[in-house]
Chains A and B, each alone.
Chain A
Amino acid sequence: MVNRIFFALALLFFGQTTFAQYDQLEDYEKDAPFASTEGLLKLNFSFASGFMPNQIIYNHYLQGSLAYFPEKKVALRADFSMLLSSPSQASILQQNTGIYLGGFWHFVDKPIWDPYVGLQAGLHISQTTYEKPGFIYAQYGDFQVSPAIQLQTGVNFYISKYLHLSAGAQAIVAEQRGGKVPDDYSLTEFRAQLGLGFQFGLIDLEKKKNRVF
Chain B
Amino acid sequence: MRSFILSLALLLALGQTAWAQWPDEQDSKASFDHSAAGLLSLGLAGQTASLLHQEDYQAPMGVGANFRLQLHNRINTEWALHYMQADFGEQAFRKDIFISANALFYPFPGNEDFEENWRPFISLGGSMNYGALEANANPSNQVDRWNPAIALGLGTHLNLTPKFDLSFSTQYMLEFGEELSWQNNNGRLLLLSLPSEKVEQRFLFSLSLNYKIADLW
Chain A interface residues toward B at CB < 8 A = 41, 66, 68, 70-71, 73-74, 76, 78, 99, 101-103, 105, 119-123, 142, 146-149, 173-175, 177-184, 202-203, 208-209, 211, 213
With known contacts A148-B63, A177-B136, A74–B161 Cβ distance under 8 A: yes
Contact of B139 among A121, A148, A179, A184 (CB under 8 A): A179
Interface string of B1-25 (1 = CB under 8 A from A): 0001000100110011011010111
Chain A residues lying within 8 Å of B52, measured Cβ to Cβ, are: none
Docked pose: A65 CA to B95 CA in angstroms: 29
Contact between A147 and B136, CB atoms less than 8 A apart: no
List 16 extra interface pairs beyond A41-B12, A70-B213, A71-B163, CB under 8 A: A70-B163, A74-B160, A102-B44, A102-B209, A103-B164, A105-B160, A119-B46, A121-B63, A123-B63, A177-B93, A178-B136, A182-B136, A182-B137, A208-B23, A209-B23, A209-B24
Shortest distance from the beta carbon of A61 to any chain B beta carbon, whole Å: 18
Query: Is B194 part of the contact surface with A, judged by Cβ < 8 Å?
Result: no
Q: Is B45 an interface residue (CB 8 A)?
A: yes
Tally of A-B Cβ pairs under 8 angstroms: 98
**Interface SS of A by simple majority:** strand
Name 19 A/B residue pairs within 8 A (Cβ), A-sorted. Answer: A68-B15, A70-B15, A70-B211, A76-B211, A78-B8, A119-B46, A119-B209, A121-B45, A122-B63, A123-B63, A146-B85, A147-B62, A147-B83, A148-B63, A177-B93, A179-B139, A182-B91, A184-B93, A209-B24
B199 close to A (CB within 8 Å): no
| Shortest beta-carbon distance from B132 to chain A in Å | 11
On chain B, the residues within 8 Å of A78 by CB distance are: 8
Interface residues of B in 126-140 (CB under 8 A from A): 134-139
Look across to chain B and name the residue whose beta carbon is closest to the beta carbon of A66.
B8
Question: B85 CB to closest chain A CB, in angstroms?
Answer: 6
Chain B 59-85 per-residue mask, 1 if CB under 8 angstroms from chain A, else 0: 001111000000000000000000111
Q: Bound complex: CA of A123 vs CA of B54, how far in Å?
A: 26
**Residues of chain B within 8 A of A180, CB atoms compared:** 136-139
The answer to whether A149 touches B46 (Cβ under 8 A) is: yes
Which of chain A's residues have a CB closer than 8 A to the CB of B90?
Answer: 183
Cβ-defined contact, A120 with B44, below 8 A: yes
Contact: B93 with A178, CB < 8 Å? Answer: yes
Q: Which residues on the A side are within 8 Å of B179 (C-beta)? A: none
B63 touches A76 (CB 8 A): no
Contacts of B209 in A (CB 8 A): 102-103, 119
**Residue numbers in A under 8 Å from B16 (CB-CB):** 202
> CB distance A142 to B139 under 8 Å?
yes
- Are A76 and B15 interface neighbours, CB within 8 A? yes
Flag whether B33 is at the interface (Cβ < 8 A): no
